[in-house]
Amino acid sequence: MNQPAGLSHLGEVRDAAIGDRAAPCVMVICGASGDLTKRKLIPALYNLATEHLLAKEFAVVGFSRTPMSSEAFRTQLSKDIEEFTTSKSVDPAVWEWFLQRIYYVSGSVDDPAAYERLKATMLEIDCDLGTKGNYFYYLAVAPSHFGAIIRRLGASGLVREEAEQWRRVIVEKPFGHDLESARVLNRELKEVLDERQIYRIDHYLGKETVQNLMVFRFGNAVFEPVWNRQYIDHVQITAAESVGVERRGGYYESSGALRDMIPNHLFQLISLTAMEPPISFGADAVRDEQAKVLNALQPIAPEEVLNRTVRGQYGEGQWRGERAPAYRTEFGVAPESRTDTYAAMKLIIDNWRWADVPFYLRTGKRMAKRVTEIAIQFRRVPFVLFRNTPVERLQSNRIVIRIQPDEGIALHFGAKIPGPVMNVGKVDMDFSYADHFGVTPTTGYERLLYDCMCGDATLFQRADMVEAGWNVIQPVLDVWQALPPRNFPNYPAGSWGPREADELMARDGREWRKIE
C-alpha cells in the first residue's frame, strides 16, 4: 500500500511488519554492470532471499550500457556471487530461485528508446511474475547521470504511481559536491518525484551498531538522564580506514576526505548521538529530530575555519611492517595533488542539551587502524575523596560505541585497586556483538533494500537533512579552496594523522583517544 503525501508521523505505516516478506516488486539497478551490483546489491538480495524476506513475486532488472542478454547477465552474476557472497557458501536452491527472477536491459541512460525497452520488460515481468507494477530504481551510476535518469524515467511514465502501485528511487551518494549542487539535485528530483518516493541512501545507516544507537539511548533508562551537557564533557567521533584510495583515485581527487565522509556518514553518527527522543519510530518523527540536530550544528565562521579544522594528506609510510605508498603516487591521482585524505574538525551544537559540549570528528585514509567509533567522554567528578588519587589523575567515565570492525559498546569507569591502600584504577565493562549474538556477516545493504521495499524511509536521508549537512561544511570547503594547503603530504601512511590534529585538541586541553 502506498502512503499518501504529507502523512503525519503518527499515521506512518510500513507496507509489511519487520520479519514479513516485502511487497511484490521489481528492482531496477541503473548502472548494473558496475562494481556495486556484484559486490553489495546482489549479495544483499541473495541474503534477503535466504531469509525469506523477498516477496515470491520479485524480480531484478539490470539496466546498463554494456550490451548483454539476460542469460549472459545471469551467468556473470552466478560467477560473482561465489566471490562476493557474505555466506559461507551459496545455497544452490535459493540461488536458482533468485536467478529465475533476474533480467537485463541494455541501453544508454540518455536514450529514450532504452526506457521504452525497460518499460516493456517491466510490463512482461508484471504479467509473468505478478509484481503488481511496484517498481524501485537503484541509481548505482555516477552522480552526473542522476538528473538525466530521473527525467527519462519521468518522461516514460516509469515513476508515476497509479492506483495501488508504488514507485520509488534509491539515490546513492555523493549527493551533490557542495550545498548548491545538492540543492540543484534535490530540485531536479522533485520536479519528477514526490519527496516520499525518494530514498537517499547512506550505507552507514545499514550498520547494526548505528541502528543500535537508538535502542541504546531510548530503550534503556540509565543513559538518557546523563546524556547532556551537565554530565558530558565532549564527544569524539572517529572513522579511520587503514586502506588508501585503492583504485578510486579518479573519484577521490574530486572529492577528498571531507566531502566523502563528513556531511554524510559522520553527520549521521552525530545526529543519532545528539538527537532528542523522537515521539515515535516513524520515518518522519525520527528524521525530524535528526534534522533538528543538523540545523543546530553551528556552521564554522570563515575566520575560524583554520583554527577549528585540520586537513591532511598521507605520504609514504609503513603499515603492518610493509611499505605503504604516498597518496600522490596512487592510481588516478595527480603527482601534485592537494586533495585531503584526512579531515578533522570541532563542531558545536547550538541547543540546550549540548551547548558548550564540543563534538570532535576525524576521518582519514591510510591510518594506523580501521576503526569507526563514537566516544562519549563524561566530566570528572567534582571532588575526590581518595587521598592517593588526586582528582586530576582520576579517570572520568567514557562510553565507547564501536561501529566497526569489532562492534560493541564499552563503559570505562574507576574501581578500587585491590590492596590495603585506597587507589583507583580504570576498568571496562564491554559488550561485544559477536560474542553475544554471534553476528552473521552481511553487506549492510539488506536492511536498507528491505525497508525501501516496505516503504519505510526512516533510515534514509530527507532533502532538508542533506542540505543542512552541506550548509555546515560549506564554509570549510570555501576556505580550504581559497587557501590551498602548503604542507601536503603531512602525515605518513599508517599513522594517526597530522600533528595539527593533536594541536586542535591540545588547544582545548584535550587529546584524541588512543585507539589500540
Site residues, ligand BG6 (CB under 6 A): 173, 241, 260, 372
Which one, 21 or 173, has the nearer CB to ligand BG6?
A: 173
Instruction: Clarify whether 265 is annotated catalytic.
Output: yes
Among residues 203, 234, 265, 412, the one annotated as catalytic is 265
SS3 sequence, 75-132? Answer: HHHHHHHHHHCCCCCCCHHHHHHHHCCEEEEECCCCCHHHHHHHHHHHHHHHHHHCCC
**All cell numbers assigned to 492:** 605518513
Which one, 172 or 467, has the nearer CB to ligand BG6?
A: 172
Q: Which residue has the CB atom at the shortest distance from ligand BG6? A: 260
Residue 423: which region, alpha, beta or left (left: phi > 0; alpha: psi -120 to 50)? Answer: beta
Which one, 241 or 340, has the nearer CB to ligand BG6?
A: 241
CB of 256 to ligand BG6, least distance (A): 10
Q: Sheet with 198-200: list strands edge to edge.
A: 102-106, 58-64, 25-30, 135-139, 167-171, 198-200
Which one, 252 or 354, has the nearer CB to ligand BG6?
A: 252
CB of 498 to ligand BG6, least distance (A): 19
Which one, 260 or 456, has the nearer CB to ligand BG6?
A: 260
Which one, 241 or 289, has the nearer CB to ligand BG6?
A: 241
Residue 275: which region, alpha, beta or left (left: phi > 0; alpha: psi -120 to 50)? Answer: beta
Integer Cα distance of 2 and 164 in angstroms: 6
CB of 433 to ligand BG6, least distance (A): 15
Integer Cα distance of 74 and 468 in angstroms: 41
Rg (CA), the chain: 24
Residues in the chain: 516
Per the CB < 8 A criterion, the answer to whether 339 and 206 are in contact is no
Between helix 92-99 and helix 70-84 the angle, nearest 10°, is 150
CB within 8 A of 17, min separation 6: which ones?
none
Give the residue numbers marked as catalytic: 265
